[in-house]
Structure 1
Amino acid sequence: MKKYLLIALLSFSTAVLATPASAEITSQNDIGFAVSHSGVVKGNANDVWKQIIQPKNWWNKAHSFTGDSNNLYLDSQAGGCFCELIKEKAADGLLKTVGSVQHMRIIYTDPGRVLRLDGALGPLQSEAVTGTLTIAMKEQKDGTTIVNFSYVVGGYMRYKVPEIAKLVDMVIADQLGRLVMLVGPAVTQEDDAEKENDGFKLDIDKLSNPTTEKPAVDKVDAAKLPAKEVAKPSATKIVTDKMTAKNNDTAMVNDTAKVNETAKAKQTGTATEENDKPKER
């Protein structure tokens, strides 16, 4: 197994040095980096998709652990594996699978639109980092398709970020270039790819729903709104109110009469007391 790890590390470095640098590191800091590359191919997105899910046809064998692209396979569903079988010749001369390597794991799949994978490629596999590769396709009116590879890496690594970022950037550029050549590069590839590389956003919602603008909301003019009408009391309420008022008046009259009677009674009582007193001689 150590033999395969050494081959992978050396092939990663030497193959990268043979690949022209494209300087597409879109962001970088002390704990990670992001790279992005675009190309334009002839044909529709489905043509591209059919090739993407067959990595053995385009993935550079120099970036494999066994040095043989035929050992690569991809299960194109969420949770599926982008893996590599490790084979050796048995005593009878036949190849026998003795191990395997997971390059990445599929976390999102939308055929003809987006394939997103999670995994640290190459020598990054031995580091405490997370890598997310998004492969997105966008069909054009002229019948071509823009393909974008975006790879974001973050976490703790023992490599110097600026150095490893350049190597990874060239690896991603190499893989995309091989896919484009397999499907068939469009004549306008260089101009269109350069134009779309910065503005082509790899947002699932935007790719799945091309129209993302919210419909305009008409402003309401308060002056044009109809004035609120004051609710008119019902006939029943009017009668009830009148009866309540009448009852209140009657109660007041009764209370007044009681007060008068009480005062009169007091006056009568006082007069009686005066008459009962003995007269002085």
Structure 2
Amino acid sequence: MLKSLFIAGALALLASPAAAEVVERSADSFTLRYARSMETSAGDIVMALESIGDWWDSAHTYSGDASNLSIRLEPGACLCERLADGSFFEHGRVILLDDDHLSLNAPLGPLKGRTSKAELTFSWPDAGATDVTVVMTFRVEGTGVGAWADGVDAVMQGQYARLIHHVEYGETPDA
């Protein structure tokens, strides 16, 4: 556990400068937002999102292996995880994909069954510019979920740092 926290902290530092914060919080909702400007293209971002199993932290999967995650970038597609018994677990669904963002209905981990809304959005609004700002926003609503904001923020900061590392270097963040 300590090793995982150390790696997550180190990856967060590697991704700096990035804006990461709980931007809104109430008893029954929270919004997390992470942003970083970098030299990349929309195509590189889309390829990284599509290869989620290459950068997602295996510690935050049910199978213990992020390579079991898959997603097709088309509306209605499943962000799914293949389990050891051959079944699949649905972490989320693609609800929107266009030229500069991807949105999923994604009540991740312990949020499953406790939320009325869990929208995870990745955007790159200035694609085509020399520097592209890669933004990840997670909007969660549900009775009492506001108390979970800091814990979810810690996990999602690590996931965002891993995504940025993958976009920049095209490799698994902890390889």
When normalised by structure 2's length, the TM-score is 0.81
Equivalent in the alignment of 2:84: 87
1:34 pairs with one of 24, 31, 43: 31
Within 2, Cα distance between the matches of 1:16 and 1:82?
25
1:49 pairs with one of 21, 27, 46: 46
Corresponding pairs, count:
160
Q: Give the share of equivalent positions with the same residue, in percent.
A: 26
User: Does the CA-based 8 Å contact 1:45-1:138 persist in structure 2?
Assistant: no
Within 2, Cα distance between the matches of 1:17 and 1:125?
27
Deviations 1:212-271 (A, max 9, x none): xxxxxxxxxxxxxxxxxxxxxxxxxxxxxxxxxxxxxxxxxxxxxxxxxxxxxxxxxxxx
Equivalent in the alignment of 1:58: 55
In structure 2, do the counterparts of structure 1 residues 141 and 131 end up closer, same or farther at CA, with 3 Å as the change threshold? closer
Equivalent in the alignment of 2:151: 167
Deviations 1:185-223 (A, max 9, x none): 7xxxxxxxxxxxxxxxxxxxxxxxxxxxxxxxxxxxxxx
Question: Shift of the alpha carbon at 1:16?
Answer: 6.2
In structure 2, do the counterparts of structure 1 residues 16 and 138 end up closer, same or farther at CA, with 3 Å as the change threshold? farther
In structure 2, do the counterparts of structure 1 residues 68 and 85 end up closer, same or farther at CA, with 3 Å as the change threshold? same
Within 2, Cα distance between the matches of 1:124 and 1:141?
35
Runs of 4+ in 1 over 6 A off after TM superposition: none
Equivalent in the alignment of 1:109: 97
* Cα RMSD (Å): 2.4
Match status 1:184 vs 2:168? yes
Deviations 1:30-68 (A, max 9, x none): 111001001233321111111111101111111111110
> Whose RCO is larger (CA < 8 A, sep 6+)?
2
Question: Shift of the alpha carbon at 1:139?
Answer: 3.4
Q: Secondary structure at the match of 1:138?
A: coil
1:155 pairs with one of 142, 156, 163: 142
Match status 1:120 vs 2:102? no
Within 2, Cα distance between the matches of 1:80 and 1:166?
29
Which structure shows the higher strand fraction?
2
Question: Shift of the alpha carbon at 1:141?
Answer: 7.1
Q: Secondary structure at the match of 2:64?
A: coil
When normalised by structure 1's length, the TM-score is 0.52
Within 1, Cα distance between the matches of 2:84 and 2:161?
28
User: Does the CA-based 8 Å contact 1:118-1:133 persist in structure 2?
Assistant: yes
In structure 2, runs of 5+ residues without a counterpart are 13-18, 170-175
